[in-house]
Structure 1
Amino acid sequence: MDNDIWQGRLDGEELLFHRVFQRVKNENDYDTIIDNDFVLHGFAVDEGVRRNKGRQGAKDAPNIIRKNMSNFPVILPSFSLLDFGNVTCDDGNLEDSQNQLAKNVSRVLLKGGKSLVLGGGHEVTYAHYLGVRTAFPEQKIGIINIDAHFDNRQPESNIGATSGTGFWQIAQEGDINSLHIGIQRNSNTLKLFDTAHQNGMKYILADELFFENLPSIYQRIDDLLDNVDIAYLTICMDVFSASIAPGVSASAYNGIFADATFMHFYKHILKNKKLLALDVAEVNPLFDIQDRTARLAACLMNEWFMI
């Protein structure tokens, strides 16, 4: 990983002055990971978006998100971030790239690290989940998907897996324990809602995300997390309004906002000790404005660093 990516304001070398870029180590040896290290991979891939007939460009997001993460102040003295670079897909073989990320994530988790992944398209979901499952095959894994879409399409035989098939793929491997927050009625066909119901995929509509409803939202999050061993959180940036996240593959005029309601339930998830893996997906720099979407994705990552 190019050291020029991790740069920020240097106020001093003492711990009290530190910003994230001062605590990042570019690594390639997984044996260096110790308990509670944050371990970062980029998933510089949007082959699944291409297959899904979406707007390509998300493969260029990981390094831009890194730049926007660099300058945040370090809050916790023990904070450590190891960066293992990017997984790419130069030959169109999405499945190989997903398997490579899964292998890397598995090694992170078995060393006691916390896995962070910067997408890339939302095909990262199946890869990241596969890494968690490989590390803990006997554990019950809960997935929270903050997204406007279910991403539970059945793959077409002549196309294969895409950015929209991840949860269908996961459901084929056994019982799925998932909660999808921010689902839009105008972004999912009745077939996708039916697939969700048939597979026991729980969801909270975008329309339900208002402050007075927080007790119910907390309860539904806790209902999932209390009944699993490990949690994985994935965020598709197209869940947000195009006014704050213009740089995505499928923008939404009526998306949600990173307001007080969102931050309350988002931090509630991050505080759960079962959470071991987090990713952001679908930042598309080609359509971003002043790095707004990349900056928001970086902020969401940074929230975990402060807990």
Structure 2
Amino acid sequence: MISQNIWQGRLDGEELLFHRIFQRVKEETHYDTISTNDYVLHGFAVDEGVRRNKGRLGAKDAPDVIRKNMSNFPVILPDFSLLDFGNLTCEDGDLETTQNNLAKNVSKVLLKGGKSIVLGGGHEVTYAHYLGIRTAFPEQKIGIINIDAHFDNRQPENGVGASSGTGFWQIAQEGEINSLHIGIQRNSNTLKLFDTAHQLGMKYILADELFFENLPSIYQRINDLLETVDFAYVTVCMDVFNASIAPGVSASAYNGIFADPTFMHFYRHILKSEKIVALDVAEVNPSLDIQERTARLAACLVNEWFMV
């Protein structure tokens, strides 16, 4: 369930031209209510994968904080509809069951023609979200755009299991992986992780390559992926951003990227693709945040999808 009074904002009027997101959200429990092109939201209030990955805990508290920061954005498109199905939790440490539960819910959303949004939680949400898309479209080619400083392609440790750092290794075990990783940091990935990325066919763009003059090349590499898949999924790990604008993450980055014009150009370019059916933001940790900067940025990134 969603905490009380999360969806609130400035009420300028009830006419459509005045509407903000909080006025258009419907809290739901029945998937039969989903219509084509509805945005459908789940909170993944889980950081068991972060714990297993030896990170700093707190991401499980993020979904409601991100919701609060989404509430007051103006509605841009007249037919905008957002259905909120509440939060999934993992109180007993059984991450695998929680991931499967999210996957089942996401599959229901997509089969009804909805667009899936998940608010993390740790980046263990990636495997669950992908599994939901794969369940809905088992015969289709699915592309993933991962905006992240890390590859998250570690092999699960014996006795530990899946974690926030194993998502793309797990995805690769399902079959051919079609992914583009944007913002990868050389100082955040061992040579083994780079080698694994090459072995699995994970394409990537280094953080050092994200500058304005290089936008044509970035666009081309994004297009190269999107043109070869049937559906695509975007996942944003908030630790890709500089610690000054995203301090509330498990692994903060002194040299992370900024949400500057270069980033916004290629990010909006991605979201304009009609092949995008799912989006999530992960690794917001409210206990480490400052003035809710990270949660606010995550909310803004989700809101960009509502405006294309």
Shorter chain as denominator, the TM-score bin is over 0.9
1:14-37 deviation digits (Å, cap 9, x = unpaired): 000000000000000000000000
2:16 aligns with 15
In 2, the alpha carbon distance for the partners of 1:10 and 1:287 equals 31
1:183-234 deviation digits (Å, cap 9, x = unpaired): 0000000000000000100000000000000000000000000000000000
Q: Point out 4+ residue stretches in structure 1 off by more than 3 angstroms.
A: none
2:5 aligns with 4
Secondary structure of the residue aligned to 1:168 is helix
2:291 aligns with 290
In 1, the alpha carbon distance for the partners of 2:150 and 2:84 equals 29
Gaps (5+ residues) in structure 2?
Answer: none
2:234 aligns with 233
2:131 aligns with 130
1:173 is displaced (CA, Å) by: 1.3
Secondary structure of the residue aligned to 1:83 is strand
In 1, the alpha carbon distance for the partners of 2:143 and 2:16 equals 36
Gaps (5+ residues) in structure 1?
Answer: none
Count how many residue pairs are aligned between Structure 1 and Structure 2.
307
2:66 aligns with 65
In 2, the alpha carbon distance for the partners of 1:136 and 1:174 equals 14
1:108 aligns with 109
Aligned-partner residue type, residue 233 of structure 1: V
1:214 aligns with 215
In 1, the alpha carbon distance for the partners of 2:158 and 2:132 equals 24
1:51 aligns with 52
In 1, the alpha carbon distance for the partners of 2:146 and 2:167 equals 11
2:153 aligns with 152
In 2, the alpha carbon distance for the partners of 1:214 and 1:157 equals 42
Secondary structure of the residue aligned to 2:76 is coil
Cα RMSD, aligned residues only: 0.5
Secondary structure of the residue aligned to 1:221 is helix
The question of 1:30 aligning with 2:31 is answered: yes
In 2, the alpha carbon distance for the partners of 1:40 and 1:269 equals 20
In 2, the alpha carbon distance for the partners of 1:256 and 1:188 equals 16
1:185 aligns with 186
In 2, the alpha carbon distance for the partners of 1:197 and 1:117 equals 28
Secondary structure of the residue aligned to 1:227 is coil
In 2, the alpha carbon distance for the partners of 1:223 and 1:43 equals 31
The question of 1:201 aligning with 2:202 is answered: yes
Secondary structure of the residue aligned to 1:43 is strand
Identity of aligned residues (%): 84
In 2, the alpha carbon distance for the partners of 1:2 and 1:89 equals 17
1:92 aligns with 93
Secondary structure of the residue aligned to 1:105 is helix
1:305 aligns with 306
Q: TM-score, normalised by structure 2?
A: 0.99
In 1, the alpha carbon distance for the partners of 2:111 and 2:301 equals 24
1:2 is displaced (CA, Å) by: 3.7
Aligned-partner residue type, residue 137 of structure 2: F
Aligned-partner residue type, residue 131 of structure 1: G
**Alpha carbons 2:3, 2:64 under 8 Å: kept:** no
Aligned-partner residue type, residue 280 of structure 2: D
In 1, the alpha carbon distance for the partners of 2:283 and 2:214 equals 28
Aligned-partner residue type, residue 52 of structure 1: N
2:279 aligns with 278
1:157 is displaced (CA, Å) by: 1.2
